[in-house]
Chain A
Amino acid sequence: DGGITQSPKYLFRKEGQNVTLSCEQNLNHDAMYWYRQDPGQGLRLIYYSQIVNDFQKGDIAEGYSVSREKKESFPLTVTSAQKNPTAFYLCASTPTGSGANVLTFGAGSRLTVL
């Protein structure tokens, strides 16, 4: 079955360390997104990419970086510059065309800073 795979499911980080969250999709979707979710809040867009080798900042990009070298993959790096990185991170994708307005989500990665 097609879908989005995020790994790891849980991740612990010491302050000052960079960590990379993986997001892989086999849906042949062109666009991919990273969101941050905090308790009691909606999703906030970190970065998005509509095509390979191109990506744009979302609303809260500071302290994060991404790459899009392959259509299937959109990894997110949480850098030491992110002051409050403990959160639940969600990757999503959309196709182009008539179904473009429906997001498909991965199961998420929970990052905890110790």
Chain B
Amino acid sequence: AQSVTQLGSHVSVSEGALVLLRCNYSSSVPPYLFWYVQYPNQGLQLLLKYTSAATLVKGINGFEAEFKKSETSFHLTKPSAHMSDAAEYFCAVSDQGTNAGKSTFGDGTTLTVKP
């Protein structure tokens, strides 16, 4: 069984500040891990994914995430927040080789960026 916990349903940062969105997972087998972004009234868009190659994964829009097996974490970071980063972010986990559509999603973290 898999599960995902996103710590903090709301995160607020100032423009130009570091963005850190936390995700912890549990999985009985090696996982694939994903971060998606959702803008209001839109679908989800893939930011980045971990599929057991490099532990530091770079994604779109300057985001990156580091897979830490010992901490069962996959936190999302961006060095400098931009107003356009305001959105909801979802972490997801699936078993390697499992149908991606059966991923388990976290409850989401809403990011607010203050001017």
A and B are partners in one complex rather than unrelated chains = yes
Q: Is B84 part of the contact surface with A, judged by Cβ < 8 Å?
A: no
- Chain A contact residues (Cβ within 8 angstroms of B): what range? 20 to 34
Which residues of the other chain, B, contact A40 by a CB distance below 8 angstroms? 9, 107-108
Q: How far is the CA of A102 from the CA of B92 in the complex (A)?
A: 11
Known contacts A42-B4, A102-B49, A110-B41; is-contact A48 B101 (Cβ 8 Å): yes
Q: Are A92 and B106 in contact (CB under 8 A)?
A: no
CB atoms of B45 and A105 under 8 A apart = yes
List chain A residues, Cβ under 8 A from B34: 101-102
Give me the interface of B with A, judged by CB distance under 8 Å: 4, 9, 32, 34, 36, 41-46, 49, 51, 90, 92, 94, 99-108
Residues A5-24 near B (CB distance < 8 A): 6, 9
A residues apposed to B, CB below 8 Å: 4, 6, 9, 31, 33, 40-43, 45, 48, 50, 58, 88, 90, 92, 94, 100-103, 105-108, 110
B51: chain A residues within 8 A (beta carbon): 101
User: B46–A48 contact, CB under 8 A?
Assistant: no
Within the complex, which residue of B41, B44, B108 is in contact with A103, where a contact is CB–CB below 8 Å? Answer: B44
Chain A residue with minimal CB distance to B102?
Answer: A45
Q: Which residues of A contact B103 (CB under 8 A)?
A: 103
